Chains A and B, each alone.
Chain A
Amino acid sequence: MGYTLDFSVVWQALPALLWGCLGTLGLALAGMTLAMIIGVAGVAARDSKAAWLRAIVIGFVEIVRNTPFLVQIFFLFFALPLIGLKLNPTATAIIALGVNGGAYAIEIIRGGVQSIHQGQVEAGYALGLHKGHVFRFIVLKPALRAIYPSLTGQFIMLTLTSSICSAVSAYELTSVAQRIESDTFRSFEVYFSVTFLYLAISWLLMLGFAVISRRFFSYPTR
């Protein structure tokens, strides 16, 4: 075999790669924030009285969920300037992630809202809780508890999906890796190492989400 693996290039580029990790996390966090806004607004519109509004939301969800993210980001990349939004690649990537994640968030949040039985709210009022407490303890917390696993899973999915944003050269881990690869020609070494950086990111996120869940969403046992 004429090729010897050389991981020293990866070691030298480690600071840049770690910055890339932060870029990925930032991109995913901004995208998820936008996705949540779209999700909540979408759920409100999905259950509104106006039939055309409901149709738009259903159409949006189906289109986003049945086309590849790569095609979505290319489309937005060219469509956003036409509506007057001249953005840099990273901002375009955030919008694309937000739109993509938003469609999935609509479905998830809607499931959470539907899981709260109307009788629960009435029972809360019957017990003499005021409006704020009913919303906080009877609607919000159980709904969040119900959707927490799928919502955090969606966040991790979005973090992994953000690697595709390298196709429009947004600042994140994969595009950093591509730059290092084109400088050093050590394709396999670079991508192999970066794959494990992504694995570390998703493990850390999973661990963090489990800690949060135990701290905030566990039922009181005492």
Chain B
Amino acid sequence: MTPHFGLPEFGFLLRGLQWTVLLTLVAFAGGCTAGLAVALMRTCGHKGVEWITSVYIGIFQGTPLLLQLFVVYYGLALTGLKLDAFVAVAIGFTVNASAFLGEIWRGAIQAVPRGQSEAAMALGLHYSSRMRDIVLPQAIRISLPATIGYLVQLIKGTSLAAIVGFIELARAGQIVSNQTYQPLLVFGVVGAMYFILCWPLSWWGSRMEARLALANQR
């Protein structure tokens, strides 16, 4: 007998949603940390280091996220480590996020007027204090809309974990759809859940972008 889409099925989707949120948070936190390192290396002034990081960023921007996940997932399996599926996909998304956030923050760091870091240098501040106290606080403000934009991308991207078999929202939707034979209803609900997650962020991001543009006009 086929079950209809009811409360238990909805609960199953909600548990999938929990994993989507958790996966996004872990990958975003990891991506922020690694992305900061990428952005700092990309702007450090050493030609070789800058070139290597630009190639690193270029590889992630020029290949599909799905394939990046496959490579990390099966690559980690080859190392012989017995990793949980969650850990494996989380590492995949973290690496991707580090490249994209690194590129966003590189742009933001370079958008901070040169005079700021020159003045800091004239005051005798060394690199770490110059970055931490002068450049980065301003860069974060500039980069916020794009960073939120990437966060939305990341939430949507975690749906690809479904293809490698990790049960998050999209995979939960597939399972329920196969059980109930009500694909339109199920994927409609799944889509609505993603929308409720992403749309406020998108709205917040574009509002911030408009305010930033207004501030720059003056």
Contact = CB atoms under 8 A, between A and B. Distances in A.
Max chain A C-beta neighbours (<10 A), residue from B79, B160, B177:
B160
Per DSSP, are chain B's interface residues mostly helix, strand or loop, or mixed?
Answer: helix
Interface residues of A, number: 39
B191 A75 contact: yes
Contacts of A63: 191, 195
A162 to B, nearest CB: 8
Interface stretch (A42-50, A141-149, A198-206): A198-206
B187 A74 contact: yes
A71 interface: yes
Interface residues of B, number: 38
Interface stretch (A30-38, A87-95, A109-117, A189-197): A189-197
Contact of B159 (A66, A71, A79): A71
Contacts of A82: 184
Contacts, number: 112
Nearest to A78: B183
Contact of A202 (B62, B65, B66, B159): B62
Contacts of B117: none
Nearest to A160: B64
Contacts of B10: none
B198 A66 contact: yes
Given A75-B191, A163-B64, A174-B67, A67 B156 contact: yes
Contact of A194 (B67, B77, B162, B177): B67
Contacts of B75: 188, 192
Contacts of A194: 67
Contact of A69 (B79, B152, B156, B174): B156
Contacts of B67: 163, 174, 191, 194-195, 198
9 contacts: A3-B80, A63-B191, A71-B191, A72-B191, A160-B64, A163-B67, A166-B66, A187-B74, A191-B67
Interface of B: 59, 62-68, 70-71, 74-75, 77-80, 152, 156-157, 159-160, 162-163, 170, 173-174, 177, 183-184, 187-188, 190-191, 194-195, 198-199, 202
Interface of A: 1-3, 5, 62-63, 65-72, 74-75, 77-79, 82, 156, 160-161, 163-164, 166-167, 174, 187-188, 191-192, 194-196, 198-199, 202-203
CB-based closest 6 A-B pairs: A68-B159, A163-B64, A66-B198, A78-B183, A191-B70, A68-B156
